[in-house]
Structure 1
Amino acid sequence: MNRDSGMYERSSHGRILVSDFEPHPLLRGPHAQTMVPALLRPTPKLALRRERLELPDGDFVDLAWAGPARGSRLAVLVHGLTGGFQSKYLRGTARELIARGWRVVILQLRGGGDEPNRHARCYHHGDTGDLRHLWRVLRQRDPGVRLAAAGWSLGANVLLKALGEEGTTAPVEAAAAACAPFRLLPCAEKLRRGTARLYQARLLRDLKAIVARKHAAVPAPVDMDAVLAARDFIEFDDRYTAPLNGFRDARDYYERCECGGFVGAIRRPTLIVNARDDPFMTPAVLPRASALAPPVTLEVSRRGGHVGFIAADAHGRPYCWLEPHLADFLDRTVAC
């Protein structure tokens, strides 16, 4: 399935694999890989059962369940920035897991839904408390359940940071992550330059709409005019994310919350899939194998874009290679 780089030993640290992913011949570039599934792919159909989970601090998050009502294996799925229950990559992976007999529950991160959450703060790259709380709630409800987790982009950062924080106490047996940013400042700086600014503009527009809607109902102790005038993520995080969450500034937030500082403490089998041509980051953010904990495998493809990975099937038709790939890893690792 993959070609091991052969450069690293797995005994003392993780490993890096060279992925065998091959892009669809008509979608070889990073922007085609990123934009075509996001803009042109129909949203995968998925029957969802909603639940509101009350949190210990008086706030809430919303969950969506799919798959069989009962079962021994349950995967918790975490979306990316401005994502949620409708995220195509998340729904596609949920369908793949359900086809393998899994139950799935989607965590819509705090403040990510249509209804504003009760407290001023919203989710961010380092906000792992709600995910860790959910893991323990699921374990309390069903002590025999076998938990796994998957996350994409910001959700990958949250998941990997949570796993590192939990270490040997993590309630999940395995995890899969895609397009993890690893180092947040270089990613934010990349999104300030060249064509990547188009992605930043779209994400900032959606993010500003979320916070404007929220803080019309729940005022925040920040200058919202300055927040809504932010020209890039660094300005936005300086003016909004950092002051609302106790960070000195954007750079302090990035340094303390980037998952690259936590992947060495993970103690559960974990697959991370990243593409070297991801337009949201540069290859320089990818960690060395020596920074990875022994159970962690970083699979790196030459192409794939950001949450793209569109390949061609035997008949030349495009399909989302990443989704069955992640599902296969979890299915093998948490076998019935």
Structure 2
Amino acid sequence: MQYQAPRWLPGGHAQTIWPVLFARRHEGPAPEFRRERWTTPDGDFVDVEFLDDPQAAAMNGHAADRPLLVLFHGLEGTVQSQYVQAFAAVARARGWAFAMPYFRGCSGEINLAPRAYHSGDYVEIGWMLDQLRAAHRGPIIAAGVSLGGNALMRWAEESGDSAAATVKAVCSICSPLDLTAAGHAIGKGFNYFVYTRMFLRTMMPKALGKLKQHPGLFDRDRLMRVRNLYEFDDIFTAPLHGFRDADDYWLRASAKPHLARIRVPALLLNARNDPFVPARSLPEQSHVGPQVTLWQPKGGGHVGFPAGRPPGHVWAMPGRVADWLAQHL
């Protein structure tokens, strides 16, 4: 697999930011979606976006018989994220069904339970995949972007041999497989002023909404003093999801230490100039088992991978990921 970043867009930051703001996301019309709401075992809910493509269904048979690509989004991702649009369009072009489950609280409506979502939530990933497996007759392949990819790999690790009964193959894209390294990297320098502050602009109001739902859930004064994702995770994410503190969360939720346990074909895609994920933290071949393929191109940024002439497009990387996944159908 090859990827060469365009000469007109040099550097990891440019290759991260430009695709979000300016690059084309799909060929042809924008993908259209229909939403379903599922009730979770703890009485909460999650929303799921399904690609609504009647023409493809008519050409390729009933949607339940076609391959289903499941995409797990990244931190604060939505169906409008450029990578979701690109993956959905790639699936549409191949005649595949497509689903993007929202993590709790990310679909535009605050969830009900005294919890949210986190990078190692493999139990939630497994439950979502089980629902899709029960409803879909055709083969399932799954990919996760950034946070969603780490959680997906944690599910594959914990599932071991049984993962193959649910999915044919999995892929993580620009995922912080070493959460400690990535968490500290995003809190420094340019990363702090641009990316950390961007994420906190949406995460802080959600946390305050959760506190209004469940008074006493955490210390509001401490939250209001948060300056970075480490402090946010220490006050909010970690204790709400059963971790002692941010250090414990980042250590136990990281997929990197357990990659050798994966027993289903897995592709780990990470650009070596990703501003969020230091190249030194990426897994090496000695860290993984025979089912795992590492793809670490020099360029691409964080979930950017722009291609073509200005303004560029972002469907080249999803297309190559789909090519790899299709080999295992």
Q: Same fold (TM over 0.5)?
A: yes
In 2: Cα distance, 1:253 partner to 1:35 partner: 28
| Equivalent residues of 1:25, 1:312 under 8 A apart | no
Q: Is 1:49 aligned to 2:34, yes or no?
A: yes
Contact 1:116 1:218 in 2 (8 A): no
Q: 1:79 aligns with which of 73, 77, 84?
A: 73
The Cα of 1:131 is off from its aligned counterpart by 1.7
- Is structure 2 residue 290 aligned with structure 1 residue 294? yes
Q: Deviations over 1:84-140 (max 9, x none)?
A: 222110121111012111101111011212111110100000112222112212222
* Structure 1 contact 272–299 (Cα < 8 Å) conserved: yes
The answer as to whether partners of 2:178 and 2:255 remain within 8 angstroms in 1 is yes
| Residue number in structure 2 paired with 1:196 | 191
Shift of 1:62: 0.4
Partner of 1:174: 169
Are residue 242 (structure 1) and residue 238 (structure 2) matched?
yes
How far apart, in 1, do the equivalents of 2:93 and 2:229 lie? 38
Q: In structure 2, how many angstroms separate the alpha carbons of the residues matched to 1:96 and 1:215?
A: 39
Any conservation in 1 of the 2:23–2:312 contact (CA below 8 Å)?
A: no
Quote the residue 1:26 is aligned against: 8
- Alpha-carbon distance in structure 2 between the residues aligned to 1:119 and 1:223: 18
DSSP 3-state at the match of 2:307: strand
Partner of 1:120: 114
Matches for 1:58-97 after TM superposition, within 5 Å:
58-66=43-51, 67=53, 68=57, 70=63, 71-97=65-91
- TM (normalized to structure 1)? 0.88
Over 3 Å counting, the alpha-carbon distance change for 1:21 and 1:220 in structure 2 is farther
- 1:276 — aligned with what? 272
Decide whether aligned partners of structure 1 residues 317 and 40 sit closer, same or farther in structure 2, where only a CA change above 3 A counts.
Answer: closer
Partners of 1:120 and 1:219 within 8 A in 2: no
Q: Which runs of 5+ in 2 are unaligned?
A: none
- 1:42 is displaced (CA, Å) by 5.6
Deviates more, 1:98-107 or 1:192-201: 192-201
Counterpart in the other structure of 1:205: 201
* Aligned residues of 1:150 and 1:175 also touching (Cα < 8 A): yes
Write the distance in 2 (CA, Å) between the matches of 1:107 and 1:188: 24
Q: Which segment is superposed worse, 104-113 or 67-76?
A: 67-76
Comparing 287-296 with 65-74, greater Cα deviation is found at: 65-74
- Alpha-carbon spacing, 1:199–1:317, altered in 2? closer, same or farther (3 Å): closer
Query: In structure 2, what is the Cα distance between the partners aligned to 1:48 and 1:217?
Result: 30
Q: CA deviation at 1:79?
A: 0.3
Which structure has more strand as a fraction of its residues? 1
Indicate the SS of the match to 1:230: coil
User: Aligned pairs, how many?
Assistant: 313
Please report how far the alpha carbon of residue 317 of structure 1 lies from its aligned counterpart in structure 2 after TM superposition: 6.3
Residues 24 and 311 in structure 2, CA contact (< 8 A), matched pair in contact too = no
Q: Structure 1 residue 166: deviation in Å?
A: 0.8
Q: Which residue of 2 aligns with 1:6?
A: none
Residue from 215, 223, 226 that aligns with 1:227: 223
Partner of 2:19: 37
Partner of 1:101: 95
Find the counterpart in structure 1 of residue 134 from structure 2: 140
Alignment check: 8 A CA contact 2:23 2:313 kept = no
Query: 1:291: how far off?
Result: 1.1
CA distance in 2, matches of 1:114, 1:196: 26
Superimposed CA distance per residue, residues 199-237 of structure 1 (whole angstroms, 9 cap, x where no aligned partner) = 111112221122223433344610123223211111111
CA distance in 2, matches of 1:42, 1:72: 27
CA distance in 2, matches of 1:281, 1:100: 31
The CA distance in 2 between the partners of 1:291 and 1:261, in whole Å, is 8
Runs of 4+ aligned structure 1 residues displaced above 6 Å come to none
What is the root-mean-square deviation in Å for CA atoms of aligned residues?
1.7
The letter for the 1-side match of 2:185 is K
With 21-30 and 211-220 compared, the bigger mean Cα shift is at 211-220
Partners of 1:190 and 1:238 in 2: how far apart? 16
**2:207 and 2:236 in contact (8 A); partners too:** no
Q: What CA distance in whole angstroms lies between the structure 2 residues aligned with 1:269 and 1:285?
A: 22
Q: How many angstroms apart in 1 are the aligned matches of 2:213 and 2:5?
A: 45
Amino acid at match of 1:209: P
Q: CA deviation at 1:266?
A: 1.1
For 1:310, what is the secondary structure of its paired residue? coil
| Larger helix fraction of residues | 2
